[in-house]
């Protein structure tokens, strides 16, 4: 029995207070655990790295690749256009001819598989860039094509039509291109055949002779073939 006079005074409410303190501690502990559990779930939800769908990745990479290819294509086209413009202006100045004539020679030579630089030299030697030039042998126009040769390519062609710039250049350059094929892309022989006729050049070669007559040397004077691994222009 504890008396009021004992060292520790007895408090009838002490047990109640202790019970409340213990209950509060338990409640706080439960709350803290619950809070930590929720925080862990939130961190897990935020920190989890989800891999993207590979189909979407491949599609986007393909789209990017196509855009890059298109950009490269545009750059290449722009470069070709710039090269063309520079060549036309340069040759217009070099040969003292109108820019539109320089452009026609450049474009038609390319379309017929002839190096434009060689095309300019051919026209210079053949007609000195005179549209209505005529020879004693009946050759006509810029490239001095004879009617028999022109009609091989266009049977219904008239003399008047052969004097049209685009027609004359196209037939002359096509003839030279065909001769280049015939003589194994030897530019010297192709030019000699253009001047002397392919049959005559072939006969001289078959007999072991040299068909050179100075014509090919005149056309090729100062001409530098383009650097290419493709056949032709050598």
Q: Is the pLDDT of residue 155 over 90?
A: yes
Return the DSSP state at 7: S
In angstroms, what CA-CA distances link 92 with 104, 120, 121, 219?
11, 10, 12, 18
Mean pLDDT over residues 134-156, rounded? 96
SS3 assignment, position 134: strand
Write down the residue that tokens 């891999």 correspond to.
Answer: 51
* The predicted structure's pLDDT at residue 180: 98
Q: In this prediction, what percent of the chain has a pLDDT beyond 90?
A: 60
Residue 14: pLDDT band (50, 70, 90) is: low
pLDDT, averaged across the chain: 82
3-state SS of 98-150 is: CHHHHHHHHHHHHHCCCCHHHHHHHHHHHHCCCCCCECCCCCECCCCECHHHH
Residue 79 CA to residue 52 CA, distance in Å, equals: 39
SS3 assignment, position 208: coil
Q: What is the pLDDT of residues 30-80, one digit of tens each?
A: 454 444 444 444 444 445 556 667 777 777 777 888 888 888 878 888 988
Mean pLDDT over residues 130-142, rounded? 96
């Amino acid at each position: 029995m504890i008396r009021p006079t004992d060292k520790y005074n007895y408090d009838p409410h002490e047990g109640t207070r202790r019970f409340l303190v213990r209950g509060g501690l338990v409640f706080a502990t439960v709350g803290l655990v619950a809070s930590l559990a929720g925080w862990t779930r939130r961190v897990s939800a935020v920190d989890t790295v989800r891999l993207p769908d590979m189909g979407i990745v491949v599609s986007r990479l393909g789209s990017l690749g196509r855009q890059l290819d298109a950009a490269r294509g545009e750059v290449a086209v722009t470069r070709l256009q710039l090269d063309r413009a520079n060549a036309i202006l340069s040759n217009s100045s070099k040969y003292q001819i109108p820019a539109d004539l320089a452009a026609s020679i450049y474009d038609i030579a390319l379309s017929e598989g002839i190096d434009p630089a060689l095309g300019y030299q051919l026209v210079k030697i053949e007609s000195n860039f005179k549209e209505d030039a005529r020879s004693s042998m009946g050759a006509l126009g810029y490239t001095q094509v004879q009617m028999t040769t022109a009609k091989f390519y266009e049977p219904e062609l008239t003399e008047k039509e052969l004097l049209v710039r685009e027609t004359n250049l196209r037939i002359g350059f096509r003839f030279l291109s065909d001769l280049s094929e015939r003589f194994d892309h030897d530019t010297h022989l192709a030019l000699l055949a253009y001047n002397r006729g392919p049959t005559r050049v072939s006969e001289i070669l078959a007999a072991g002779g040299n068909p050179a007559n100075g014509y090919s040397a005149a056309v090729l004077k100062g001409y530098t073939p383009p650097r290419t691994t493709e056949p032709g222009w050598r």
